[in-house]
Amino acid sequence: MKLRDKIAVVTGGARGIGQACAIALAKEGAHVCVTDIIPMEETMEAIKALDRQTLGIKTDVSQKRDVLNMVAQVIEKFGKIDILVNNAGTCQRVPLEELTEEQWDRDVNTIMKGTFLCTQAVYPHMKKNGSGKIVNIASISGKIGGAVSKKGAGVEGKRGRSGPAYAAAKGGVIAFTKWVAKDAGCYGIYVNAVAPGGIETDMSKGFVYPIEDLPISRMGKPEDVAQMVVFLASDASNYTTGQAINVDGGWVMD
């Protein structure tokens, strides 16, 4: 097992990519703390079935008080945090001219502010231990800004397109990843991001993605992302930091 007895925290771990990450980390031997604003029992039961310890903490990652409380509970139970996976996110698929300030704030606060608050909260514990792995779930939308609009196209014509707030927030996560990686290296902390493309989750339901144009012509699965997260959380990635690695079937090549 690559992660035997490591202590991991996965935000947004109740379903989708977060759930797949939590289970994949547990399969490699980690004890996994799951946070979300919705019930997490399904993920926790899967972790327990792998004979790993777990802790479920209802957490709004956009609220500093919630985040500090979550980290305190993990430290109280396990004494350390080895791995942080910042996965919690929302996606407002709304055209620019219709996007409300509240919708903008929802994506930016959950994705970008949440990544900042959780990283800030675990950082001193990782520095004290002289080691740590932080993996941020970004998106190829944070690199390319989503799909190109066609004049006169309705919502159904925007092939899997994310909204402007989502793209901006994910781009911010990538920049933040690089900043923290440069600061954290001297403390033995590695910081990377994963940039998924079209992944089969509740968030992507009802939208058509141009998979026929991809070198790997299929939608990705949450487990595809989770395997990259496991790599970045393990010693196999000990010469990799500050990267945003695409898991997208070849959609973006950079």
CA-wise closest residue to 229 among 61, 24, 46: 24
Predicted TM-score of the model (pTM): 0.94
The continuous run of DSSP H or E covering 127 comes out as helix 114-129
Enumerate the active-site residues. Answer: 166
In this predicted structure, what is the pLDDT of residue 159? 45
Q: What parts of the chain have a pLDDT lower than 50?
A: 156-160
**Pairwise CA distance, residues 187 & 240, whole Å:** 14
pLDDT digits (tens, 9 = 90+) for 209-238: 777 889 999 999 999 999 999 999 999 999
Instruction: Give the tokens for residue 224.
Output: 């595809």
**Pairwise CA distance, residues 224 & 222, whole Å:** 5
Are the beta carbons of 62 and 111 closer than 8 angstroms?
A: no
The continuous run of DSSP H or E covering 135 comes out as strand 132-137
The domains found in the chain, sorted by start residue, are: 7-247 (3.40.50.720)
**How long is the chain?**
254
In this predicted structure, what is the pLDDT of residue 122? 99
Contacts of 149 (CB under 8 A, 6+ apart): 158, 161
**Pairwise CA distance, residues 192 & 10, whole Å:** 15
Tokens 């950082």 correspond to what residue? 123
- In three state form, how does the secondary structure of 82-104 look? CEEEECCCCCCCCCHHHCCHHHH
